[in-house]
């Protein structure tokens, strides 16, 4: 009996409401993360390079670790005071000028030699994750795939990749198991991870349904699902329901708030969830559309009243940071004009090559 099967049986014995196979899958992924974290300084170039075919279903958006340090230093200074920011090692004052410091003690598991030194004002530390259904070029079955990069130019260029366009691309295989593929980008010129469109018949909706339809979590079970997978590193969630609200005029730092309900279960609070559309994803659906939502759960926790030590927290509500939305054909309404604007930042390399080129 495999370790995965043993985990499934163990979860079944706990009488959880969530699919034991899903929990076991995330447990395996979490174990893989733990093994990776015990190998600091590994050479990522040793990962096998493969050629893949697939299509994008989601995008976590471009992150910039350097800008986050700048923003956090500014936030602490403005809200807690200059002395507190200095105490936390976020800034220093030199010749009357405030200087932001590199506050990363480690980078990819290694000691950061720049820790505590002034942060270059022009430094960019961009990263991006593209979520795909993909297969190796020689394979036949599409699988859930996370493709990640810490290359500044690639992170920017990947924004060009549209959804539901079949592409081929090279990438390094960090992990492949029953949970799918974990891939990292290749930055060398010969095998750079850019996406080239290919001509091949495919029904995108049918492939999504076949691959991820079985992973749909009932909205009423989201809190239980979150608590059951809290230690997993890849806690993506797939939801299905009717969009009851789109808050185009109420955008937050997380994006445009929307609500998803499960009319088959009822219209009570436990049968609806808030999901946020970030500014890098266009709203391609209207109110009352039936859609799939792919994203990551964000919990709201409170102190457990039953804990006498007042240290334990419990999950009282959840929302979802959206990576992608797929309207279901025949059950979708037209989208209103989106508030999302084109990114004016100049892309330094071409990340997607359509068939016409």
Distances 303 to 84, 195, 224 between C-alpha atoms, Å: 27, 47, 17
d(CA 212, CA 260): 18
d(CA 175, CA 157): 24
Residues 198 and 221 in one domain: no
**Residues 263-319: tens digit of each pLDDT:** 887 777 778 999 999 999 999 999 999 999 999 998 877 777 777 776 777 776 889
Residues 242 and 316 in one domain: yes
Residues 313 and 226 in one domain: yes
**Residues 203-221: tens digit of each pLDDT:** 999 999 999 999 999 998 8
At 199, give phi and psi (nearest 5°).
Answer: -95, 110
d(CA 192, CA 153): 11
**Confidence at 9, pLDDT banded by 50, 70, 90:** low
**Confidence at 67, pLDDT banded by 50, 70, 90:** very high
179: closest CA among 146, 217, 221, 144?
144
Residues 226 and 303 in one domain: yes
Show which of 142, 172, 202 is a domain's final residue.
Answer: 202
Q: Of 4-8, 173-177, 222-226, 263-267, which range is least confident?
A: 4-8
Residues 163 and 312 in one domain: no
Residues 243 and 178 in one domain: no
Mean confidence (pLDDT) of the chain? 84
The reported pTM is 0.78
Residues 137 and 55 in one domain: yes
pLDDT of the residue at 120: 92
Domain with 185, as residue range(s), is: 3-37+45-62+127-202
Q: Per the domain annotation, does 117 fall within a domain? A: no
**Confidence at 36, pLDDT banded by 50, 70, 90:** very low
CA angle 261/17/231 to nearest 5° reads: 95
What is the domain-level CATH number for residue 287? 2.40.50.140
**Residues 148-181: tens digit of each pLDDT:** 999 999 999 999 999 999 999 999 999 998 889 9
Residues 294 and 220 in one domain: yes
What is the domain-level CATH number for residue 133? 2.40.50
pLDDT of the residue at 231: 65
Residue 27, H or E segment: helix 20-37
**Confidence at 35, pLDDT banded by 50, 70, 90:** very low
102-110: average pLDDT: 88
Residue 107 has pLDDT above 50, yes or no: yes
């Amino acid at each position: 009996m495999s370790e995965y099967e043993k985990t499934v049986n163990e979860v079944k014995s706990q009488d959880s409401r969530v699919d034991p196979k899903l929990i076991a899958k995330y447990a395996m992924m979490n174990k893989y993360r733990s093994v990776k974290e015990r190998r600091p300084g590994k050479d990522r170039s040793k990962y096998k390079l493969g050629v893949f075919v697939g299509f994008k279903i989601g995008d976590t958006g471009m992150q910039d670790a350097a800008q986050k340090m700048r923003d956090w230093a500014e936030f602490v200074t403005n809200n807690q005071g200059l002395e507190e920011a200095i105490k936390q090692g976020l800034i220093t004052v030199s010749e009357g000028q405030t200087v932001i410091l590199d506050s990363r003690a480690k980078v990819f598991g290694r000691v950061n030699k720049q820790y505590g030194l002034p942060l270059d004002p022009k430094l960019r530390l961009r990263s991006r994750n593209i979520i795909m259904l993909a297969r190796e070029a020689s394979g036949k079955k599409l699988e859930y795939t996370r493709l990640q990069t810490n290359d500044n130019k690639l992170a920017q260029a990947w924004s060009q990749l549209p959804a539901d366009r079949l592409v081929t691309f090279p990438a390094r295989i960090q992990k492949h198991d029953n949970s799918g593929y974990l891939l990292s980008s290749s930055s060398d010129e010969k095998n750079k991870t850019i996406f080239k469109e290919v001509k091949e018949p495919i029904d995108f909706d049918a492939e999504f349904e076949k691959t991820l339809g079985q992973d749909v979590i009932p909205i009423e079970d989201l809190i239980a699902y979150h608590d059951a997978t809290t230690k997993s590193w890849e806690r993506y969630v797939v939801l299905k329901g009717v969009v009851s609200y789109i808050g185009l005029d109420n955008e937050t730092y997380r994006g445009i708030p929307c609500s998803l309900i499960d009319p088959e279960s009822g219209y009570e609070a436990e049968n609806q969830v808030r999901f946020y559309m970030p500014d890098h994803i266009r709203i391609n659906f209207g109110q009352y559309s039936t859609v799939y939502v792919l994203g990551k759960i964000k919990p709201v926790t409170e102190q457990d009243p039953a804990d006498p030590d007042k240290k334990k927290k419990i999950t009282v509500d959840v929302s979802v940071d959206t990576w992608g939305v797929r309207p279901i054909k025949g059950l979708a309404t037209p989208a209103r004009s989106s508030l999302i604007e084109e990114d004016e930042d100049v892309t330094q390399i071409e990340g997607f090559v359509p068939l016409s080129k």
